[in-house]
Amino acid sequence: MVRAALASKKIGQGPVPGAVYVPAASVVAASLFAVLPIVAENGWFPDCGFLMLIGWRLRRTDAWPSWWAAPLGLLNDLFAGNPLGLSVTVWTFSMLVLDLLDRRTIWRDYWIEWALATLFVLLYESAQWLVAAWMGARVPFLFMLPPIFISVAAFPVAAWFVGRIDSWRLGRR
């Protein structure tokens, strides 16, 4: 699909330069949301980088080679101040699981994609919670429910952005 689109030579219709790197760049940009000057009492904000990552990977199998998730995760850890390795592990693991799932799924629709995204958000937030507990900050899991709900609700927004960016980078207006 992408290869065919990248090869198109129509004037004004082709992909933007560096279209191959746009997905990864948009994930880094979403990770940079952590730089926003919000001083919050609790961690309710969704992890935008992760939502974009899942959104891209569900839209395209070949958004990036799956190992790119590791350096992208490292950047996210550094920006957000997570313990180093948390996003590296969870993001790369998610890519591998989705690679395996792609071999099994016959068909997909929006609901299945949202359900998959919910599972991955659950995985990510649980990992965050567990690592925090191991580092001496064990909070009740109940505190994690609002961020999980907000992230799940925010996924369609991320998927919409992914769709817009994707059609822009491939020159399909």
Rounded Cα distance between 100 and 41, Å, is 39
- Residue 30 class from Cβ within 10 Å (0-12 exposed, 13-18 middle, 19+ buried)? buried
Sites of contact with other proteins (CB under 8 A):
32, 34-47, 61, 65-67, 69-71, 73-74, 78-93, 95-96, 99-100, 102-103, 128-129, 131-132, 134-139, 143-144, 147
Quick count: other Cβ atoms within 10 Å of Cβ 86?
A: 19
- Nearest approach in angstroms of CB 154 to other proteins is 12
Nearer to other proteins, 5 or 97 (CB): 97
- Backbone CA torsion sign across 14, 20, 26, 29: negative
- Nearest approach in angstroms of CB 106 to other proteins is 13
Nearer to other proteins, 143 or 160 (CB): 143
- Nearest approach in angstroms of CB 114 to other proteins is 21
Nearer to other proteins, 10 or 103 (CB): 103
Looking up tokens 């030579």 gives 9
Rounded Cα distance between 73 and 90, Å, is 8
Longest dimension (CA), the chain: 59
- Nearest approach in angstroms of CB 11 to other proteins is 29
Nearer to other proteins, 64 or 169 (CB): 64
